[in-house]
């Protein structure tokens, strides 16, 4: 199993239009077939010192293996998402984990 988690910080966090545009872009990634599961989320309303809730959107993929992850990285839907939506984020942080 290969888990790929991405956190996005908006350029304009006060802009509901930008927030919704990035969410819509994230939704397009559901058209990719290389993953076993996909979760799109925003920070939960949990407040403890160990929780970073500074991001605006998160994306978590579960892939069968690294080969599936690598195929996703080159998928035209993913590449189009980056091209279309990169203007909305100021920062992206990725965490990959394997079992």
For 65-96, what is each residue's pLDDT tens digit? 999 999 999 999 999 999 999 999 999 999 99
Looking at the domain assignment, is residue 98 inside a domain? no
Looking at the domain assignment, is residue 71 inside a domain? yes
For 1-55, what is each residue's pLDDT tens digit? 999 999 999 999 999 999 999 999 999 999 999 999 999 999 999 999 999 999 9
Determine the structural domain holding residue 34 and report its residue range.
1-11+22-44+66-92
Looking at the domain assignment, is residue 52 inside a domain? no
| Number of domains present in the structure of the chain | 1
Torsion over CA: 73, 57, 3, 34 (sign): negative
Looking at the domain assignment, is residue 53 inside a domain? no
Supply 25's token pair: 């872009």
Looking at the domain assignment, is residue 85 inside a domain? yes
- Judge contact between 88 and 10, C-beta under 8 A: yes
């Amino acid at each position: 199993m290969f888990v790929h988690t991405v956190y996005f910080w908006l350029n304009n966090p006060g802009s509901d239009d930008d927030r919704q545009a990035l969410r819509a872009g994230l939704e397009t990634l559901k058209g990719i077939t290389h993953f076993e599961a996909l979760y799109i989320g925003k920070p939960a309303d949990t407040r403890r010192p160990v929780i970073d809730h500074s991001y605006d959107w998160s994306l978590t993929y579960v892939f069968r293996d690294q080969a599936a992850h690598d195929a996703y990285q080159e998928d035209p839907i993913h590449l189009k998402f980056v091209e279309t939506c990169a203007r909305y984020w100021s920062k992206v942080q990725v965490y990959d984990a394997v079992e």
